[in-house]
Chains A and B, each alone.
Chain A
Amino acid sequence: MQDATEFASPNEPLKLVLYVAGQTPKSLAAIANLQRICDENEPGKYAVEVIDLKKAPQLAREHNIVAIPTLVRQLPTPIRKIIGDLSDREKVLVHLKVGEE
């Protein structure tokens, strides 16, 4: 895990972590929705890591994850969390941009 206080340069991709729980419908939907959002926006802008908490539940503590699925914008700080299956594309994009500038 990288230090949360580190600052990203404008060229660096947004570092996103998607927490899912195995094959639950909302987990699968969140993965698919995020994939679409990333593809539709500037390719290479996002570096996405998907963590399956079913397999490694202890990783939930890193970002105090309570509800699944949750997308964490790890970089740039401050950390932002988006809870749900990411079906509301606009909301996702708004959250990802907040505090970016």
Chain B
Amino acid sequence: MAIAVSAYDNLSMDELRRRLEEAEDTLRAIREGEVDALVVRNPRREDEVFTLEGGTSYHSFMEAMDLGAAAFDDSNRLLYANKALRELLHLPDDTIDASHIAAVLDEETLVTVRGLIEAAKQTKQTAEIAVVVDSREMQLLVSAAPLQLGVTRGLAVTFTDITAKVRAASAEASERAAHSIIASANEAVVVCDTNGVITHANAAVSAIYNGNPVGEVFSDIIPLKLTDSTGLLQTEDIVSLAVSGTSVQGIEAVASQAPRVKDVLLSAAPLRVGSDKVSGCVITMVDLSQRKAAEKQQLLLMGELDHRVKNTLALVMSICKRTASTEETVQGFQAAFTGRIQALAATHNLLADRSWSSISIAEIVSAELDPFVSSAQARLKVEGIEAKVLPRAAIALGLVIHELATNAVKYGALSNETGRVQVKVTRNEGEAWLGIEWVESGGPVVHPPSKRGFGQTVITRSLQYTSNGGADLEYPPEGLRCRIRIPEEDLVAA
């Protein structure tokens, strides 16, 4: 009743009484539900008509809303549910009450919503709930706020379907996770769409393709030659297979145009996101460079072993034949042949210990002389022979030293108690070899041999596999001298 206080001063008692009666009557009429609309003054001091019932006021407003909305009274009785909510929760069109909404919610969600409604009588509340309507799972955002319904207080509750939003957020999160998984992978990972166009590629792909691969056709920018295939299967076929739903695993391929990694193990699998529909393919390329290098090394070693076994067998046969032709008795043959095979074995052992790389001359000399002079080191002087040689020279040198030692023990400086052997290295400017001098002294007087034995042949010829190698024997009376030439191509820089 918009009457200014000051106005009462000028009114008669009758008029005041009448107005009081009128005011009381108005309140009674509202209380008793005799009216269904009120005139209220809005903040702009304009009069507005506010309808209390009959579906023309908040009902029509609620009907115009896209989101599901319901109005409850103070006692949590459902006053109205709009069409959007009835459709959202599949509620009946008429005679609907709060129990219909409660029936849609499971026990836990019901507790949440009841708590929300209770708390919303004070202030606006919001919660997310999950409901299943006709076996469709939905995420709803429930918002409840106090509502003045004419003369009584109530609650406005809205239900917003945020399923799509939640799914989008979840999809975005899983896409982020997928991105980081791809990015973290050591292997090159490429994701293609159904047309074979690259949509994602991780950093490891840069070892295979120099540039930004995204947006390019995979088979165009990374042409792979599939090893062990007839040529019928091409890169684009692998992509097509994966896109059509067939996984391809562990195909060795060569990326001939790749900047760094050329040998790869290729796998491709269909990409299924969300549904069963294939939306592209995921291709991984594992770097096989190290494995390939190891395989090559192994092949090389096998070839080398084969070669050496054949050489050794040829050498053994040659030693056997020549020993037999120079030795006059079976015992003599046996001793000489065994000694030579042992000399060969000693060098072999050394080389095997070093994985057939290089070994030092000192080690060879020591291994070959050990059986003869181990207890008389003072009679053997070895100087400056730390240089290393390749296996070819090592085997030859081993045989040469063995023959020289055998000869020294039999006829030379080591055949008596006073003789000495000096082994020293000489290297002169301009010479394409390393010289090793074997100098005997203090032994019996030396006479040049009347016939050329196998030992002499071994000494002079063993290192003659190149023009820079070889050995010369001299027979001065004071002691045998041998000048061995290790070809420089078989020397290894220390």
Contacts and interface: CB of A to CB of B under 8 A. Distances in A.
Interface of A: 20-27, 53-54, 57-58, 60-61, 64-70, 78, 81, 83-85
A78 B26 CA distance: 18
B56 interface: yes
Interface stretch (B43-51, B167-175, B176-184, B215-223): B43-51
The interface centre, meaning the residue of B15, B34, B39 with most chain A CB atoms within 10 A of its CB, is B39
Contact of B39 (A25, A66, A81, A84): A66
A53 B54 CA distance: 16
A68 B36 contact: yes
B295 interface: no
Contacts of A65: 39
A85 B39 CA distance: 16
A10 B35 CA distance: 32
Nearest to A79: B18
Contacts of B47: 53, 57-58, 60-61
Interface of B is mostly: mixed
B2 A61 contact: yes
Interface residues of B, number: 24
The 6 closest A-B pairs by CB, nearest first: A21-B37, A84-B34, A68-B37, A83-B29, A67-B35, A26-B36
Interface of B: 1-3, 15, 18, 22, 25-26, 29-30, 34-39, 46-49, 51, 53-54, 56
Contact of B26 (A53, A57, A60, A66): A66
Nearest to B3: A64
A79 B48 CA distance: 23
Contact of A68 (B2, B22, B39, B46): B39
B48 to A, nearest CB: 6
7 contacts: A22-B51, A24-B36, A57-B39, A57-B48, A66-B26, A66-B38, A83-B35
Given A83-B25, A83-B26, A57 B49 contact: yes
Given A64-B1, A64-B2, A83-B25, A53 B53 contact: no
B3 A68 contact: no
Given A22-B56, A54-B49, A67 B26 contact: yes
A57 B46 contact: yes
Contacts of A85: 34
Contacts of B48: 57
Given A23-B56, A85-B34, A67 B29 contact: yes
B22 A21 contact: no
B46 A21 contact: no
Given A66-B1, A66-B26, A26 B49 contact: no
B29 A21 contact: no
Contact of A58 (B26, B37, B46, B51): B46
A95 B29 CA distance: 15
B35 A84 contact: yes
B29 A78 contact: no
B56 A26 contact: no
The interface centre, meaning the residue of B22, B29, B37, B38 with most chain A CB atoms within 10 A of its CB, is B37
A57 to B, nearest CB: 4
